[in-house]
Structure 1
């Protein structure tokens, strides 16, 4: 049986209608939140029809899963692009945190759906959650195995420590977004925690 994650991982050739529907989902989440969004809202923002929607997605939940998968991959790409592996390890952490916060600032409602709504979808979303976290952990391990870290004689972080850092950062992010606070406020604690976990030990 093909799952929503299979579609997200193997969507292959870009499909303009699929992309429009994903943009429509994002716009509806920003406007109303995921729970109050309907397929009618999604297609209204996408300027297409319900028929087109159901040709691409089985439900709004499946549409959300692909949107969040793509959003997560974009986040990872942005962080990797922002970090100079030759820089001092502490500068690399600052670069990574800044790229993370910049991404969150652009789409806070989507980030909140990733943290709060995705787990509520249950079994249908569990494969995505596992894959997404594995990709984020891979990124942290790779970033901590750079020339800048090696010059400081810091070994690559372990996967369990990377998971602990990511879990805390996700929860801190959710709290700031839910409270309507400036997400730039997470920069200092995120950088401090990252230096403590990823740095000399």
Structure 2
């Protein structure tokens, strides 16, 4: 592992396939893009910043991505997949009560973002600086979170009895996103787990109406 925390390829002769080398290079570029954007912002981050962190050549970068934006969007998608995976894993125990599973998923989501302020800033704020395609991707990712939570809440008859349960779910997820984004924008990512209790209280109040 190198000084940036990335797993380095073996020096000299090795038995890695071309595909394994390419996958390692791509992963390093995605991690480097996430870190650089988290620290400098999307507009101020250059391809050279990413190369310096990833320890790969400019030629290698363009073998994987057409430009900075393409690399950034790929890094964003990788982050989204990781966070969605954490949330889905927390929801996997279907034998547990709905609210307990929701609490576990929310805590896992908030912990994941709180663990890395730069990545959280990239995921929640800098995505909007990368143009319309990035904003559309952000919307698609949020729709994915809405579908996950909607699928969970649909198990509760009280939720199904609401006048428009899907709209209620969009409001809830949008509200969570706004609260979390505000904390990250203020540099308070470490305090994100403290949002869990009040958010759950509002979920419960909706179901108890």
Matched, 1:57 2:65: yes
Counterpart position of 1:175: 182
Corresponding residue to 2:166 among 159, 164, 167: 159
1:82 lines up with 2:90 in the alignment: yes
Pair 1:119–1:113, CA change in 2 (3 A): same
CA contact (8 A) 2:30 2:75 kept: yes
Q: Tell me: CA distance 1:74–1:195, structure 2 relative to 1, closer, same or farther (3 Å).
A: farther
C-alpha distance 112-194 of structure 1, shift in aligned 2 (>3 A): farther
Match in the other structure for 1:4: none
The TM-score normalised by the length of structure 1 is 0.79
Write out per-residue CA displacement over residues 53-104 of structure 1, whole angstroms, 9 at most, x where no aligned residue.
1221122222111111121121111111112322222212211111111111
Once residues 160 and 121 of structure 1 are traced to their aligned partners in structure 2, the CA distance between those partners, rounded to angstroms, is 28
- Compute the TM-score of the two structures, normalised by the length of structure 2: 0.76
Gaps of at least 5 residues in structure 2 are 1-19
Q: Map 1:32-181 to 2 at 5 A.
A: 32-83=40-91, 84-146=93-155, 149=156, 154-155=159-160, 158-181=165-188
Secondary structure, counterpart of 1:15 in structure 2: helix
| Native 8 Å contact 1:85 1:143 kept in 2 | no
| Structure number with bigger Rg | 2
Superposed displacement of residue 156, structure 1: 8.8
Q: Is the 8 A contact 1:61 1:121 kept in 2?
A: yes
Q: Distance in 2 between matches of 1:33 and 1:112?
A: 9
* Aligned residue number for residue 14 of structure 2: none
The CA distance in 2 between the partners of 1:156 and 1:135, in whole Å, is 23
Cα distance change, pair 28–92 in 1 and its aligned pair in 2 (3 A): same
| Runs of 4+ that moved beyond 6 A | none
How many pairs are equivalent?
Answer: 184
Of 27-36 and 91-100, deviating more is 27-36
